[in-house]
Amino acid sequence: MDSTPAANPVRFTSGDEATNSKQIIQNLEQEAFKDWPNDAGFDGLTEHRGPIEPNIKGDIPIWAAGSLYRTGPGICKVEDTPRGTVYISHWFDGLAHTHRFEIVPIGDGTPNPDSSGPKVRVFYSSRRQSDHVMEDIKRHGTYRSMSFAQKADPCVGMFGKFMSMFRRPSNLANICVTVSPDFVGKKALSASSSSLESAKPVPPVAANGLADLGHRASAKNVFLATDAAVFSEIDPATLEPIGVVSQKKLHPDLKGPVSAAHGKRDPDTGDFFNFNMEFGRNATYRIFQIVAATGEVKILATISSSHVKPAYIHSFFLTPSYVMLCVPSVHYKYGGATIPFEGNLMDASVFDATQPCRWLVVDRKGGKGLVAEFKTAGAFFFHSTNSFEENGDVICEFVQFKSGDILKAFYYDVMLNRNNATEEFWKEGSRKTDAHPRLVRYRFPTKGVSGGKGGVASHDELIEPILEIPAPHAGELPTFNPEFSLRRHRYVYSVSSRGLSTLFDCIIKTDTETREVLMWQGPAGHTPGEAIYCPRPRSGALEDEMEDDGVLLSVVLDGSNRASYLLCLDARTMKELGRAECEFAVGFGFHGRLAKAVL
């Protein structure tokens, strides 16, 4: 593995935005991605139940100790089936694989300035979460479960496709998008197949004489989620699957099949929020809350209207007073009626730029339900970053795309450039300009909205963005300092692409006030994953200057050597502090969470 730390981060200003955006297009036209190997992050991935101890270079702070859980796709093809090798079509359908990097202080966790070498040890383990899906594929020679974008077998005719609607199994859940340690819904899921006491103990790591390893992370439970209305519980230590539970177990009204992979948590109360969507002539959205203190589940609003279409919604927004649901312009055709026939969500949806994004504002404090609606220009998004209230208005920030074409960029053919699929993808239409992210903020005038008997405040005019920063100065999988959740923040961290890779090629720190960015870039072929923010422990009141006082943890693939490492960056300077190097590739995941150890 190339263990040479990356060069110093590169600083850019707003004056560089246009030039750097044009450079993306030039790199794509020159097919620079052909010189950026990242196939090891998609193909040939194996479990490592471990724990395995990677080699540490540099320094990872003791106060970053804990368990970094990450989840995402693993296996992208299944061999030895009755029909030969079955290829999974889309990255979002890769078979679930969860990872754990446990960062453990050496000794009692007290820093010793006179000691040299690492102050922590790191232990890695991983486990597949969808062996039942893999076995079904091996048995039948096809991907039978409902999927995001699995392409139909070309040998299956119209009649076979029609009959598959009635033969499609309902128990082949593939849950691999987000991970939630200490999920508050555990209280509400009393019918779950396990209890906290049944969780297996942490595997021993002191057999080599290091009996002084203490301050282990102590997540009481870990749940995985996806864009379906189900949760999957796994063992916090071994990552072993425990059971899958439907949202209907939380509340009988949560009977729709669709939800957001990214639920939201109130940082003060711990309450959990999400929505459940039921298909029909008019889609029904139910916004719900799980009260952390009691486990009670409340339906905050039930919304069903002909102008609020069923849509693919991956995340939403939370403020101290409201839940904000943005319904983007990727809608399911015929109210979702074609999904069973198509067998996947992609082929049953369509992007219509003439349809505005509709914003639904739901009161979360006074029981008033839906209190306001707004519209913004037609667009698509995966991820919200943060939202907050200011002078009676609500400000929502997210990563936006001009079209839904980005969904097609994540077919494995495109990301692995099979049969020149990458070149063909970027040649089509306006994708070279539209299929790149922008960090966008909107300000919504919510002052004085009442709802309830006062009715819903509806605004016909399109709300215009107050901030718009293009790629590569902004990227995807955005994170920020979680201590600034639901309050004004300044910095956003994301993984971005300069057109050098079929996925990502750098980590970006974006200053939303000055529009300056700091870019971490590894050597060619080093592909970073989502950068998880870990704030430095502090006492006393939180001050604005503390916002970037922490570290970032990102799993990076060294594609040339087909091996990954856990990268630790100073969140203020974006300089590398240390890394934990594995001798194998860790699959490109989606999202993760750090369960902090108590020092």
Query: Among the listed ranges 20-29, 200-209, 403-412, which one has the minimum average pLDDT value?
Result: 200-209
Residue 402 has pLDDT above 70, yes or no: yes
Total tally of structural domains belonging to the chain: 1
Convert the pLDDT of each residue in 171-194 to its tens digit.
678 999 999 999 987 777 754 444
- Cα separation, 290 vs 190, whole angstroms: 13
Convert the pLDDT of each residue in 467-502 to its tens digit.
999 999 999 999 999 999 999 999 999 999 999 999
Report the 3 state secondary structure along 484-501: HCCCCCCEEEEEECCCCC
Strands (E), 454-586: 457-462, 465-470, 476-479, 491-496, 506-511, 517-520, 526-528, 532-535, 550-558, 563-570, 576-581
The set of residues, in sequence order, having a beta carbon less than 8 Å from that of 541 and lying 6+ positions away, is: none
The reply to whether 7 falls in a domain is no
The reply to whether 409 falls in a domain is yes
Q: Which of 486, 479, 68, 64 is nearest to 269 (CA)?
A: 486
Q: Find out whether 557 and 505 touch, Cβ atoms under 8 Å.
A: no
The reply to whether 571 falls in a domain is yes
The reply to whether 556 falls in a domain is yes
The set of residues, in sequence order, having a beta carbon less than 8 Å from that of 543 and lying 6+ positions away, is: none
pLDDT range class, residue 392, cuts 50, 70, 90: very high
Convert the pLDDT of each residue in 510-534 to its tens digit.
999 999 999 999 999 999 999 999 9
Return the bridge partners of 327, or none: 358
Residue 202 has pLDDT above 50, yes or no: no
Q: Which of 255, 479, 444, 270 is nearest to 362 (CA)?
A: 444
Q: Is 314 annotated as a binding-site member?
A: yes
- Residue that the structure tokens 């479990």 belong to: 47
Residue 295 has pLDDT above 70, yes or no: yes
Q: Looking at residue 281, what is its pLDDT?
A: 83
SS3 of residue 416 by DSSP? coil
Residue 200 has pLDDT above 60, yes or no: no
Residue 201 has pLDDT above 70, yes or no: no
Convert the pLDDT of each residue in 324-335 to its tens digit.
999 999 999 989
Report the 3 state secondary structure along 15-67: HHHHHHHHHHHHHHHCCHHHHCCCHHHCCCCCCCCCCECCEEEECCCHHHCEE
* pTM attached to this predicted model: 0.92
Q: Which of 92, 88, 90, 102 is nearest to 178 (CA)?
A: 92
Strands (E), 230-379: 230-234, 241-246, 258-259, 264-265, 272-278, 284-290, 297-304, 317-318, 322-327, 330-332, 349-351, 357-363, 370-376
Convert the pLDDT of each residue in 428-481 to its tens digit.
989 998 999 999 999 999 987 765 555 687 888 999 999 999 999 999 999 999
- Tokens standing for residue 117: 């070498």
The reply to whether 5 falls in a domain is no
Integer CA distances (angstroms), 153 to 159, 164, 342, in order: 13, 11, 12
pLDDT range class, residue 573, cuts 50, 70, 90: very high
Mean pLDDT of 198-227: 57
Q: Looking at residue 185, what is its pLDDT?
A: 77
Q: Find out whether 179 and 222 touch, Cβ atoms under 8 Å.
A: yes
The reply to whether 63 falls in a domain is yes
The reply to whether 120 falls in a domain is yes
Kindly give the pairing relationship between strand 370-376 and strand 457-462.
Answer: parallel
Structural domain including 567 reads: 17-192+215-537+549-588
Query: Among the listed ranges 375-384, 392-401, 536-545, which one has the minimum average pLDDT value?
Result: 536-545
Mean pLDDT over each residue of the chain, to the nearest integer = 89
Q: Looking at residue 597, what is its pLDDT?
A: 82
Residue 199 has pLDDT above 80, yes or no: no
The set of residues, in sequence order, having a beta carbon less than 8 Å from that of 211 and lying 6+ positions away, is: none
Judge residue 285's burial from the number of C-beta atoms within 10 Å of its C-beta, 0-12 exposed, 13-18 middle, 19 or more buried. Answer: buried
Q: Percent of the chain at pLDDT above 70?
A: 87
Q: CA 524, 526, 531, 534 torsion: positive or negative?
A: negative
Q: For residue 555, count other CB atoms closer than 10 A to its CB.
A: 28
Q: Which of 597, 567, 535 is nearest to 108 (CA)?
A: 597
The reply to whether 525 falls in a domain is yes
Residue 164 has pLDDT above 70, yes or no: no
Convert the pLDDT of each residue in 130-139 to its tens digit.
999 999 999 9
Q: Looking at residue 21, what is its pLDDT?
A: 97
Q: Looking at residue 540, what is its pLDDT?
A: 85
Q: Which of 243, 249, 399 is nearest to 317 (CA)?
A: 399
- Cα separation, 130 vs 274, whole angstroms: 24
Residue 198 has pLDDT above 50, yes or no: no
Q: Find out whether 370 and 303 touch, Cβ atoms under 8 Å.
A: yes
Q: Is 262 annotated as a binding-site member?
A: yes
Q: Is 383 annotated as a binding-site member?
A: yes
Residue 372 has pLDDT above 80, yes or no: yes
Mean pLDDT of 535-564: 94
